[in-house]
């Protein structure tokens, strides 16, 4: 349909977005849209105006939580809590499913570590998200647990999101479309590298975009998935998808960075 109604028309077309390319490649987008072999296609990548090297840090925990662990939710909730204390709130935690979100939120509540003892207000984004978003943005030092629509299109400028936590890489869940598309590849590995990984990278870029919204924003992005550890199978794929920036492996380094780039009022919020 796109070929008949759009691509075949002899008119100039401009396709633009912050997440069309992965690194310097538009291949996945072109495959999806039927443009892979179109001779009219010209490509251009604009350099971001944001100084990620100075204003952003990427955190990979040295003690990654194993996805297969029976205590996964207990351990990931504990790691998230340590990060929240370190950053004094001001955080967005992006989950890949409502099941993960609910499990972590339940553990935080069970331990009585938020709202009562921590002093850090935590909001959970569900279907009533407009009201929750307003409350989150207007509450100094708050934390938002979210999934779904929060991965793209939502704007959190300033210190509101100074810590972005991604517990699990955003791989797509298997569905009928992927099962059908898999038939076009000779081996499962080819399908994973050509479709599944690029889709994860694009989704990750969209989520990462919640961190830095203006040229003066500063933020730490913490990815807790064990597959991003020093020997993780997808670590390089993650690095290829994101802008270049310094990498941190100790939680104490997060605090040091935030102390260097945030005003004193930042640490007084939610204290």
Q: Does residue 60 carry a pLDDT above 50?
A: yes
Q: Does residue 98 carry a pLDDT above 70?
A: yes
Q: Does residue 123 carry a pLDDT above 80?
A: yes
Distance CA 262, CA 218 (A): 8
Q: Does residue 119 carry a pLDDT above 90?
A: no
Q: Does residue 115 carry a pLDDT above 50?
A: no
Residue of 18, 171, 159 whose CA lies nearest to 91: 159
SS3 for 133-168 is HHHHHHCCCCEEEECHHHHCCCCCCHHHCCEEEECC
Residue of 263, 221, 252 whose CA lies nearest to 86: 252
Distance CA 147, CA 63 (A): 24
Q: What percent of the chain has pLDDT over 90?
A: 55
Confidence category of residue 157, pLDDT binned at 50, 70, 90: confident
Q: Quote the pTM value.
A: 0.89
- For the residues of 158-204, what is the DSSP string, one character each? GGG-SEEEESS--PPPP-HHHHHHGGGSSSHHHHIIIIIHHHHHHHH
Q: Does residue 69 carry a pLDDT above 80?
A: yes
Q: Does residue 126 carry a pLDDT above 90?
A: no
């Amino acid at each position: 349909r796109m070929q008949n109604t759009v691509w075949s028309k002899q008119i100039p077309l401009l396709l633009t977005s912050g997440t069309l390319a992965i690194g310097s490649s538009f291949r996945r987008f072109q495959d999806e849209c039927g443009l892979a072999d179109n001779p009219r296609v010209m490509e251009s990548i604009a350099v971001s105006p944001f100084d990620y090297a100075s204003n952003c840090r990427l955190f990979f925990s040295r003690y990654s939580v194993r996805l297969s662990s029976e205590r996964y939710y207990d351990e990931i909730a504990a790691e998230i809590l340590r990060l929240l204390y370190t950053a004094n709130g001001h955080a967005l935690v992006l989950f890949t499913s409502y099941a993960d979100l609910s499990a972590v939120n339940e553990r935080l509540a069970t331990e009585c570590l938020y709202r009562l003892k921590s002093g850090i207000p935590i909001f959970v984004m569900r279907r009533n998200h407009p009201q929750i978003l307003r409350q989150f943005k207007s509450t100094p030092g708050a934390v938002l647990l979210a999934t779904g629509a929060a991965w793209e299109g939502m704007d959190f400028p300033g210190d509101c999101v100074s810590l972005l936590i991604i517990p699990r890489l955003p791989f797509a869940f298997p569905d009928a479309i992927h099962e059908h598309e898999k038939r076009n590849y000779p081996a499962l590995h080819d399908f994973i590298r050509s479709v599944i990984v690029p889709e994860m990278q694009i989704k990750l870029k969209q989520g990462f975009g919640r961190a830095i919204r203006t040229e003066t924003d500063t933020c730490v992005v913490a990815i807790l998935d064990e597959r991003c550890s020093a020997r993780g199978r997808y670590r390089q794929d993650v690095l290829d998808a994101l802008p270049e920036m310094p990498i941190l492996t100790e939680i104490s380094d997060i605090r040091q960075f935030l102390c260097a780039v945030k005003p004193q009022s930042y640490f007084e919020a939610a204290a």
